[in-house]
Each structure stands twice: as C-alpha cells, then as structure tokens.
Structure 1
Amino acid sequence: MIPPKRNALQQTAFLTGMYAQFLKVYFKTLVEYRADTFIALIAGILAQGSTLVFLTVIFQRIPALADWNFYELVFIFGLAATARALNQTFFNAPFSLTGYIRRGRLDVMLVRPVGVLFQAIGYSQDLNGVGQLATGMVIMTYAASQLHLAWTPGSVLYALIALVCSAVIQFAVLLVISVLTFWVHEVRSLIYPINWLFDFTRYPMDIFHPALRGLLTYVIPYAIGSFYPAAYLLRPDLYGWALWGVPATAVGVMLLAYAVWTYGLRTYSSVAG
C-alpha cells in the first residue's frame, strides 16, 4: 500500500491523530475492565508502598544516607517510580516485539502505510502501569511539599520534560535489546535483567560502587533519566548540567536505538517465508 503524500506538518498531525485513537482504545479498556484497572491501582500502591516502608525503617536508624535526608530520598524514589510507570504504560513495545513476530502480526504491520515502530508503540500500552503511575506522582508531590520545594513554571516544565525523557531513555535501551529478536528467538532472559537495573536509580547514585554508577550513567543511562533530574530539582547548584544533559541524552539514545531498529527491521524475514 502506497501512503498518501504529506508534508511534515500534515504527517505530524496525522500521526498525532492516530496515536490519539490508540489512547482512546486504551482508556476505553480501562473503563471496560474496571476490576482489572482497580487491581492494577491497588498493586501499584502496594508495590510503591513497600519501598516507602523500607526507607522509613532505614531512616529510623540513620539520619541521612550519603548526605540525602528522608524526604529527598522519597522525592527521588517518586520521580523514578513515575518515570518507570510512564514507560510501562505508554512505551511497552520492546516487551511485545517477540510476540508480534511469532504470531505474524509484524508482517501485517509491515504492509500498512504507517511506521512499524509507531504501530508497536500504539498497540503496547500496559494496564499494570496505571497504578504505579498514579502512586508515583502522589509520592513525588508529597515529598516536594515536605521539602518545601519552590515550584516555578520552569521547574514544573523541567520535571515534565525529565519524566518523558526518562521514559524515552528506558524505551530506547530496551528497544536495542529487543531488536536482537530479529536474529535470536528468545531475548526475555536478557531484556528483563536490563529492565530491572532501573530499580537502582530510585536511590542516590552516591551510595553505589563507582562501577555501578558508571554503568547506569554512561553505558545504560537510566540514572540520567531518573536520579539526576531529581537531584537537579533538589540541588540545582550541584547538578546544573542535568538541565540540558537529560534531554540531550534522551535524544541521543533514541536516535541510536532507532538506527539499530531500522537495521534490524531491514534484515527481518517474514514468518511465512
């Protein structure tokens, strides 16, 4: 099928409208399956609450952790949890790619006049991320109020951009791993451990070994999308580079991931072949 010719503005409007339709279907799912949505919300509260209980127990014995007080750690955790849930809710495509290939759904996507990656993202919203998304935002807002964090239009905008950048960084890293499924039939044994590494970024990087800090900053840059934006909002004088470093990293990692995806897709042979 030959797609109609559109200029850049028309194509942007077309894709925006199409993604809005994907979201419309997703939100209808949330309303239709009320019990599942409720369970997802409760599961998110319990998952995040268990970590807060752990932090509370730790801080009953120590006044600070690597010079970060309790509410600063809660804020860092809240931002990371929100970013993780945002990725899980709207950018879960890397976990679905193997299934698309095995069921022949990728073949169908290839003949449509819309990019395959765009379709994969649109079809892959995850209901289980809803509860964690709501809980993470509440935790982050609560911690900010306890810290008397002065929210300005600029800091609010930065927080929103940082959350999106974090979701994009996570998506890009996992996309690179999932592309291996074009050559290897099973990549879940690798993609899940890489995904779990993000949990380290819910805590200050200062408490970890330099090797782990380097891994999560320069190799798999999860920390640039979670810990460092939170640190900038809390201590802008010490982490000023995060103002531009976070979006720059997100763009760079996404461009690299898209190049790897494009190469992998070119080598793909149909399951019917």
Structure 2
Amino acid sequence: MLVPKRNWLQQAGFLTGLYGQYLKVYLKTLVEYRADTLIALVAGIVAQGSTLLFLTVIFQKIPKLADWSFYELVFLFGLAATGKSINQAFFNAPFSLTGYIRRGQMDIMMIRPVGVLLQAIGSSQELNGVGQLVTGIAIMGFAGAHLDLQWTAGTLLYVVIALLSSAVIQFAVLLTISVLTFWVQEVRSVIYPVNWLYDFTRYPLEIFHPLLRGLLTYVIPYALGSFFPAAFLLRPESYGWAMWGVPAAAVITMSLAYCLWTFGIRRYSSVAG
C-alpha cells in the first residue's frame, strides 16, 4: 500500500485528525470504565488535597515561605500539578516504550504508514491523570480568586501556553531517558526518580540549595514549565523573561529529544533481531 503524498499542511491536518481518533478512544474508555474514572477523580482530589493540607499546616506557623504567601504557593502548586496531569494523561508514552519493545509492539508500529512516536503517544494515555487535571485547575482557580491577578484574554492564553509547555518539557525530559532503552535493557530505575524530581518545582526554588535549583532549571528544566510561568503570572516585574522563555524552552527541549529519538529509532533492529 502506497502512502499518499501530502504537503506539510495536509500532513499536519492528517496527524491532528489521527490523534483526535486516539483521543476519542480514550474518552470512550473513560465513559466505559466509569468506576475507574470515578476512582481516578477521587484519587486526584485526595492526592492534591493532602498537599494543600500540608501547606495549610505550615502557614499556621509561618506567615510566608521565602517571601511567598500562602495563596501564592497554592497557585504555584496548582499550576505545577495541572501541567503534570496533562503530561500524565496525554503524553505518558515514555513509560510505555520499554513494554512496546519487549512485547514486539514496536515492530508493528514501524510497519504502519504513521510515525512511531505519534502512535506511542496516542496509545499511552493514563486514566489517573484525569482526576489530577480536574483538581489542579480547581486549585488554580481557588488561589487566583484570592490573589490580585488580572485575568485578561492574554493572561488566559499564557496560562494555556504555559501548561502545554510544561507538559512538553516533562515529556521531552522523560523521552530522552526512555530512548536509552534502544541500547540499554532497563531504564525504569532512572526514569521514575527523574519524574519524581518534578515535585520539587511545586514550591519556590529559593527554598532549595543552589545546586538543586541549577539542576531543575538548566539540566532537567522542570522549573521552566512550572515554577517560572507561575512566578511570571504572580510577579511579572521580576520574571518578565518567562513570557517567551517558557515556550522557547519547550521548543528547544522537545527538538533535542526528538533528534535523539530519531537517532535511536533508526538503529532499532527489531525485538527478534
């Protein structure tokens, strides 16, 4: 079967429509498995609520944390949690890559006339991310209602861009590690700890050691998709660079990760090889 020739615009439309089909399947799964969906929602509420409870207890003892007020920290936490939930719900492919290779599913993906990475992304949505997504947005709204934020169309657009950038940065970091499975038999012992590092960026970077701040900003740039966009919304006079720096970081990290992915997939010889 010959693949029809398309220009870049037609190809973008085709891939967008194909991913839309994957999302339809995902949504049908949520509806079909109502009990699992409800459990995921409740689990998300409990997980995020426990952190809010922790912050509440802390702020009963201190008025501010590194010059950040309670509702500012809640907003930081809400944006970071929402970004992570988007990544978990829609870009969970790095955690599935090893399984695809071991089960021979990667071989099947490679003979289809669609990019392997898109297939992996479309087949790897995570149900548990839905509950955290709902509660993360609610937490942001709750904190924003208590802060002097100007919710203009531009602000809302930046929030959307920041959340997508956060998900892309996380995906790029984890994809970079998971690609190593083309050469190394087991990478899960690395990918899970690196994923857990993201939780540090739910809090002001000033409370951490400079080495950790540098790691989360320049090496594993999770802070560029969580702390800094939230800080820009709360204190634009101090973090004005984040308006363009956050989406730029997402483009750069994803480009580097995709280059490594392309290098690895070209050297993949099949599970039977």
Q: Into which bin does the TM-score normalised by the smaller protein fall?
A: over 0.9
1:247 aligns with 2:223: no
Distance 2:185 2:36 in 1: 31
Q: CA deviation at 1:63?
A: 0.1
Cα offsets for 1:92-127 (capped at 9, x unmatched): 000000000001000000001100001100001000
**Cα distance per residue 1:137-177 (max 9 Å; x no partner):** 00001100011311011111001000000000000000000
* Correspondence list, 1:1-273, <5 A: 1-273=1-273
- Structure 1 distance, partners of 2:17, 2:224, is 31
**Structure 2: segments with no counterpart, 5+ residues:** none
Letter in 2 for 1:264: G
1:26-74 residue CA offsets vs partner (Å, 9 max, x unmatched)? 0000000000000000000000000000000000000000000000000
CA distance in 2, matches of 1:179, 1:15: 22
Distance (whole Å) between structure 2 residues aligned to residue 3 and residue 190 of structure 1: 38
Secondary structure, aligned partner of 2:272: coil
| 1:200-235 per-position Cα deviation (integer Å, ceiling 9, x unaligned) | 000001111100000000000000000000000000
SS state of the match for residue 106, structure 1? helix
- Decide which moves more: 2-11 or 51-60: 2-11
The 2-side partners of 1:161 and 1:2 are apart by: 37
Counterpart Cα distance in 2 of 1:48 and 1:231: 20
Provide the secondary structure at the position in 1 that maps to 2:184.
coil
Where 2:4 maps in the other structure, the secondary structure is coil
Aligned equivalents of 2:255, 2:158: Cα separation in 1? 21
CA drift at 1:184:
1.1
How many residue pairs match? The answer is 273
Distance 1:171 1:163 in 2: 12
Q: Which amino acid aligns with 2:113?
A: P
Q: CA deviation at 1:2?
A: 3.7
Q: SS state of the match for residue 230, structure 1? A: helix
Residue 135 of structure 1 and its aligned partner are, at CA, apart by 0.3
Q: CA deviation at 1:4?
A: 1.1
**SS of residue paired to 2:96:** helix
Residues 69-98 of structure 1 deviation map (CA, whole Å, 9 limit, x = unaligned): 000000000000000000000000000000
